[in-house]
Amino acid sequence: MNSKEEKMYTFLRGYCEARNYFNALLALPYARAMHDGLKRKSGEAYIIHPLGLATYGIDIGLSTDEIIATCLLHDVMEDTASTLSDLGVSDKVKQSVQLLTFRRGNLLKPDALQIYYDHIKDDENATFVKLLDRYNNLQTMASVFTLAKIIEYTKETIDYIYPLMQEAKLRYPLKRNELNILKCNIESLVNTIEGMLEFVPDDMERARVRKTSLNKAS
């Protein structure tokens, strides 16, 4: 492990051990093993991403055993050979991980995304882990995404994440403070990105990129 990964891993292990977080303590080494050797587009070890979600979740008060475990496992079924029966955690955590695993199948992408988010909103843990995930990805995408991908991802955030946040406000009032933090952070990043897009020098080029992005999304 590199220094950053080691510090995050050690912090989470100590935090979860102090609270006897059974699911998170199972998820922590499992996630590291399943993501071993995998890199994000930035070149960073992939495990930094779920570790970062769990750590930031703790920082803003999303610190239950189930949320931390779901943060750690949220990508293992989508990005590795892991199956639901491999996870070893509670059925509640398994359900959240399954909901966070995007499968397009034979559907058009907008249809698949709508079904995906409609299911997520019914699960509190999945909802907040998805918001943590989106915030983390918005923070890091500028250095690795193409302009077309940035536009597509920003549009997806507005079309699906914003309604998810609105739904969470109604469904999960006890997490109002945590939701407000995530909402402010996500909206601030989206506003910054949209402001930067206005500086793409050629209006026709910006329109072309937006059209390409929308075509890819469908």
The pLDDT of residue 144: 84
Greatest Cα pair distance, the chain, in angstroms, is 57
Q: Are residues 124 and 214 in the same domain?
A: yes
Q: Which segments of the chain have a pLDDT < 50?
A: 213-214, 216-218
Q: Are residues 92 and 123 in the same domain?
A: no
Q: Which of 116, 114, 124 is nearest to 171 (CA)?
A: 124
Q: Final residue of a domain: which of 35, 68, 101?
A: 101
Q: Are residues 48 and 125 in the same domain?
A: no
**Sign of the C-alpha dihedral computed for residues 167, 170, 172 and 174 taken in this order:** positive
Q: Are residues 111 and 217 in the same domain?
A: yes
List the domain range (segments joined by +) for residue 202: 102-218
Q: Are residues 168 and 131 in the same domain?
A: yes
What amino acid occupies position 29? P
Q: Are residues 14 and 87 in the same domain?
A: yes
The pLDDT of residue 217: 46
The pLDDT of residue 1: 62
Total tally of structural domains belonging to the chain: 2
Give the separation between CA 215 and CA 218, rounded to whole angstroms.
5
Q: Are residues 135 and 197 in the same domain?
A: yes
DSSP letter string, 120-139: HTT-HHHHHHHHHHHHHHHH
Q: Are residues 109 and 216 in the same domain?
A: yes
Which DSSP state fits 172?
-
Q: Yes or no: say if 95 and 50 are a contact pair by the CB < 8 Å rule.
A: no
